[in-house]
Structure 1
Amino acid sequence: MINQESIDKFRLELPVFEKNIRAFEAGEIDRNTLKGITGGFGSYAQKEGGYMLRLRLPGGRVSKDTLKFIVDKIKEHQIDLLKLTTCQTIQLHNLSADSVITLIRDALDFGIFTKGGGGDNPRNVMVSPLSGIEPSEFFDVYPYAKAAGEYLIDRMPSLHMPRKLKVGFSNSPENEVHATFRDLGFVARENGTFSVYCAGGLGPNPKLGVHIADGVCPDEVSLYVSAMIRLFTTYGNYDSRAKARTRYLQDTLGEEALRSHFLAFLEEARKEETPWPIEPIATITKSGCGSLSEDLALNRRVKAQKQDGLYTVSYHPVGGRLTAEKPAELFQAIQNLEAVELRLSPDGTIYIINLTADEVPAVLNVTSDGAQNLFETSVCCIASPICQHGLRNSYQLLTACVERLRKEQFADGVLPQMHISGCPSSCGTHQAGAIGFAGHSKKVNGKMESAFKLFVNGCANASELRLGTDAAVILETVIPEFLAALGRKISADGSTFAEWYPTHPEKFIALANEYADKAE
């Protein structure tokens, strides 16, 4: 559990947050000054007015009580936009100054930390969303991630890091949380131990993580987190924010020295610290009842859990954006269902877990407005015009592509899940996708126009790990037609993108170049 001392320390900092929000509203400080202060509280001013607040939800878990808290606050503050993030959190958008000040206090009173949601702090610790219920997992990694998250919150008041720190735990090689290229990542192994990676990251100068060790005892996860903090604060770049992420340590130290320093700091941590306690793995005691109809058994949104007779329903709102009404609809559907909770995925999917066969149809019905196929589960960041740094509107591009491609009625899988970032920072994880786009510009007839840089062949699966490579720069208005042409080409071969691309990369590049030359 998060100790009371950490809660009290954060509460004492809140007047600083309010004072600076009020100063910004009065025009006494500028946006950049405000960002340097309020980011550490999990809040930023939006580019075109209003504020956002990022709720820290360890491992992306949302209990019924937490969902009800969110529903109540949406109503109280008339919140009209919620964004599911690639760090398994929920962002509340378009808030007034009064609302963001009240919400940050109310969240803390409820038990939700926003501290560290931004700024030079440890972010929300990420966990494979179906940890504990996934049939193919090696083991449930959530208790260890929870311990790491609590340890980081406990350490946060005394930390002064060069930049943010992202930690992830994967329960299998599927690696949905990108643990192998986070600042620090733990990947479960069949023998009940972890492999550990560090100093990876997406964005400018992307890097896969450095493999530190195998056979890591899960009870020592906090000591490995401590070693990473020691490494980062000792060798991280405090002079240049552009080079202050852990992945730049691979350039300055080299892989071998980085690994050596990490292990030396680990030994220091073992001598000086007691491992953070690990809570026992919770047992799901709910029993299944009923059986799925043939149609439901074949439904792509219904997954069988490793618990006999229990199921998960997936719901992916396009672009990971929730309407103001949807949380209330979800709560209404699950409030009286035993042991049911929500899990947030880094790609913007919500999983509703621990359902019996008899409970599945109603949940499917309330979530029927989401993505209809793999392509429509594509990922995007909040982007311009909300994000201060957003260059392009990634959500606008995604919705334009979805609208265009629904007309083609391609078979599921013909086009893959895309990852779209509004700028090179990769908040939409564009370098991790089979197809990715990053906000860019392109000169046409002497004028700079809205465009995106195309990336291809990224893969997060630990067994095929690779970063996508840039292939072309295409005008935003042309991209939907490029994807339609790509889909037609793959459909003509009776294939899917996953099967087609490995044997036709030259055809993909030729098509990309063809559309890169189009002006509209």
Structure 2
Amino acid sequence: MIGIAPQEWKTDLPEFCEKTRDFYAGKMDKGSYKGFSGRYGSYAQKGGAASMLRLRMTAGCVSKEKLAFIAKAIRAYQVNMVHFTTCESVQFHNLDEKSVCELMEQALDAGIVTMGGGGDFPRNVMCSPLSGVEEGEYFDVMPWAKAAGEYLMTFINAEKMPRKLKVCFSNSPANVTHATYRDLGFAACPDGTFEVYSAGGLGNNPQFGVKVAEGVAPEKILYYIKAMWLTFRAYGNYENRGKARTRYMQEALGGAENYRKAYQEKLQEVLASGEQLDLSREEVMAAAGMKEKQGKTGDGSSASGERVLEQKQPGLYTVIWHPIGGQPRPETLASLGELMQSIDGTELRLAPDETAYIINLTGAEAEKILEATKETAQTKFETSVSCIGASICQVGARDSQALLQACVKAVGEAQIPDGALPQIHISGCPSSCGTHQTGPMGFRGGVRMADGKAQPAFVFYLGGNEVQGKETMGRELGTMFESEIPSFLVKLGKEIAARGLDFESYRTQYPDGIEKAAAEYLA
């Protein structure tokens, strides 16, 4: 296996602590500090009075050992805000200068790396959260995602990297990690190989990825990662930060077919170089702890309910937990982490829609987890996705979390039945951290003029789809005042419920119904 041991990053920490002291002492400006601290997975929050720390959870896996660290940190440092991100990592918020430095070092001792969590570096590798336990998956891609994550850490100090490099793995056409439109995506096929997609991404200039390879053996994936870096070095616009993302290469090279040829040329260079990047299946499975995970069996107890999934392993279950906005109460998360220490073979898996899954449970264990995670979304609409928002993020335009809370409150008070409204996606700015562009309904932070003044508003998107083979960007329909969005959703929910339909059925039977309901709110 090719990687870097977490403890090896400790040599970088003194410089971070020195610069962080300078920032809080007023000796370093916000922009300079942001450019420096992102490499360490930390940013100053809006206002500059507190810090956040992003804990990388490769492939969205939070082991019992990592949960034990999180629980201990929450209690020892009185962490009052935690966020599950859409890149399957965990963020601590509202940290002071001393806490962020100490937690960064203590995380390394627990096997949790923060390096490269921000800035121009490979981001947290994402993976279908139920990989390995999901009925109907093509194959378990989790071990390969973890191996890719280890390898990508060796690029932290590489030159000429894109502004972000997001790599993900998908175990089925559900495509929950958006493998077909990330910087580099590996989509599982029924025959145990991967299709590889490259140069995709949301945000400004959104692009679906280019399929650059198919029939790729999992043991060969590192060659494709190396080729991605070389392609960007050769053709990426790393001098213009606004265009320093892989998706801009499609246009720069004159289209998808030219990009595919350019990538293939770099791939052939890697294959011909003699560098040995083949993975050993045995080593990959061992490193992923597959033997231990596959050894657990049911004990005859059972569990059922809307938040319980039967795994493909007989007698084992998964519990679904979705804190609204991806923000669990720290006390609840700490207590869950402590409870899970006594359960063999379990772990927490994070999803791109901010859902957490606790896997490999007997029926009796599932009942205990259900009780520990009672504070959870109760409807499809309540599982809606939001980035951290402008109250925390320096670049955010609007407070997406506040909008989500207002919408959940209004829809709940109106008693809109479950299913009448979909999972909506909210981003505070054009970066699309809330994936508003491919949700069935999306909102992106902005402004709208009223009486000559700029007022808080969100651009409304309709009709996005993330499913492989059906990928669609939502249509931008106009801008709504932030204050009126809850009213719009209540009106739409009542209209759909009055017809006895769910959201998808309504869209099918009344193709222009949502646009008509939105018309009076849009400009």
- Please give the range of the TM-score, normalised by the shorter of the 2 chains: over 0.9
* SS of aligned partner of 1:107: helix
Identify the match of residue 310 of structure 1 among 309, 316, 322: 316
Q: Is the 8 A contact 1:151 1:276 kept in 2?
A: no
Deviation at 1:6, TM superposition (A): 7.3
Q: What whole-Å deviation, never above 9, does each CA across 1:86-114 have from its counterpart, x for those lacking one?
A: 00000110010111111111111221111
Q: For residues 439-450 of structure 1, what are the structure 2 equivalents within 5 Å?
A: 439-450=445-456
Q: Does 1:275 align with 2:277?
A: yes
Q: For residues 101-500 of structure 1, what are the structure 2 equivalents within 5 Å?
A: 101-253=101-253, 254-272=255-273, 273-278=275-280, 279-280=284-285, 282-283=290-291, 284-292=294-302, 297=304, 299-500=305-506
Q: Is the 8 A contact 2:121 2:156 kept in 1?
A: yes
Q: What whole-Å deviation, never above 9, does each CA across 1:162-185 have from its counterpart, x for those lacking one?
A: 311000000000111111100000
Deviation at 1:160, TM superposition (A): 3.1
Deviation at 1:13, TM superposition (A): 1.8
Aligned residue in 1 for 2:17: 18
Q: What whole-Å deviation, never above 9, does each CA across 1:434-472 have from its counterpart, x for those lacking one?
A: 010000111112111111111111111103211111112
Q: For residues 47-126 of structure 1, what are the structure 2 equivalents within 5 Å?
A: 47-48=46-47, 49-126=49-126
Distance, in Å, in 2 between the alignment partners of 1:5 and 1:331 is 24
Distance, in Å, in 2 between the alignment partners of 1:15 and 1:481 is 51
Distance, in Å, in 1 between the alignment partners of 2:28 and 2:6 is 29
Deviation at 1:257, TM superposition (A): 1.3
Query: Which residue identity does 2:298 align to in structure 1?
Result: G
Q: Is the 8 A contact 1:433 1:457 kept in 2?
A: yes
Deviation at 1:504, TM superposition (A): 2.3
Deviation at 1:291, TM superposition (A): 4.4
Comparing 414-423 and 507-516, the one that deviates more: 507-516
Distance, in Å, in 1 between the alignment partners of 2:502 and 2:411 is 15
Distance, in Å, in 2 between the alignment partners of 1:376 and 1:322 is 13
Normalised TM-score (structure 1): 0.96
Q: Is the 8 A contact 1:383 1:395 kept in 2?
A: yes
* SS of aligned partner of 1:515: coil
Distance, in Å, in 1 between the alignment partners of 2:265 and 2:63 is 39
* SS of aligned partner of 2:219: helix
Deviation at 1:333, TM superposition (A): 2.9
* SS of aligned partner of 2:364: coil
Distance, in Å, in 2 between the alignment partners of 1:444 and 1:499 is 36
Distance, in Å, in 2 between the alignment partners of 1:484 and 1:472 is 19
Distance, in Å, in 2 between the alignment partners of 1:397 and 1:391 is 12
Q: What whole-Å deviation, never above 9, does each CA across 1:121-160 have from its counterpart, x for those lacking one?
A: 0001000000000011000001111111111112322343
Comparing 177-186 and 103-112, the one that deviates more: 103-112
Distance, in Å, in 1 between the alignment partners of 2:162 and 2:170 is 26
Query: Which residue identity does 1:422 align to in structure 2?
Result: G
Alpha carbons of 1:456 and 1:121: their partners in 2 closer, same or farther (altered >3 Å)? same
After superposition, the CA RMSD in angstroms is 1.4
* SS of aligned partner of 2:59: helix
Aligned residue in 2 for 1:35: 34
* SS of aligned partner of 2:473: coil
User: How many residues in Structure 1 have an aligned counterpart in Structure 2?
Assistant: 512
Query: Which residue identity does 1:168 align to in structure 2?
Result: C
Q: Is the 8 A contact 1:290 1:358 kept in 2?
A: no
Distance, in Å, in 1 between the alignment partners of 2:444 and 2:149 is 30
Q: What whole-Å deviation, never above 9, does each CA across 1:242-287 have from its counterpart, x for those lacking one?
A: 1111111111112111100111111111122212534126141111
Deviation at 1:232, TM superposition (A): 1.0
Distance, in Å, in 2 between the alignment partners of 1:512 and 1:239 is 41
Deviation at 1:117, TM superposition (A): 0.2
Identity of aligned residues (%): 47
Query: Which residue identity does 1:268 align to in structure 2?
Result: E
Q: Is the 8 A contact 2:321 2:356 kept in 1?
A: yes
Distance, in Å, in 1 between the alignment partners of 2:149 and 2:139 is 18
Alpha carbons of 1:50 and 1:276: their partners in 2 closer, same or farther (altered >3 Å)? farther
* SS of aligned partner of 1:358: helix
Distance, in Å, in 1 between the alignment partners of 2:471 and 2:195 is 15
Alpha carbons of 1:144 and 1:444: their partners in 2 closer, same or farther (altered >3 Å)? same
Distance, in Å, in 1 between the alignment partners of 2:149 and 2:166 is 10
Deviation at 1:3, TM superposition (A): 4.4
Q: Is the 8 A contact 1:6 1:153 kept in 2?
A: no
Q: Is the 8 A contact 2:138 2:172 kept in 1?
A: yes
Query: Which residue identity does 2:400 align to in structure 1?
Result: S
Query: Which residue identity does 1:274 align to in structure 2?
Result: Q
Q: Is the 8 A contact 2:389 2:399 kept in 1?
A: yes
Comparing 307-316 and 271-280, the one that deviates more: 271-280
Distance, in Å, in 2 between the alignment partners of 1:225 and 1:78 is 39
Distance, in Å, in 2 between the alignment partners of 1:460 and 1:213 is 20
Deviation at 1:290, TM superposition (A): 3.0
Comparing 76-85 and 149-158, the one that deviates more: 149-158
Unaligned runs of 5+ in 2: none
Normalised TM-score (structure 2): 0.95
Distance, in Å, in 2 between the alignment partners of 1:449 and 1:465 is 33
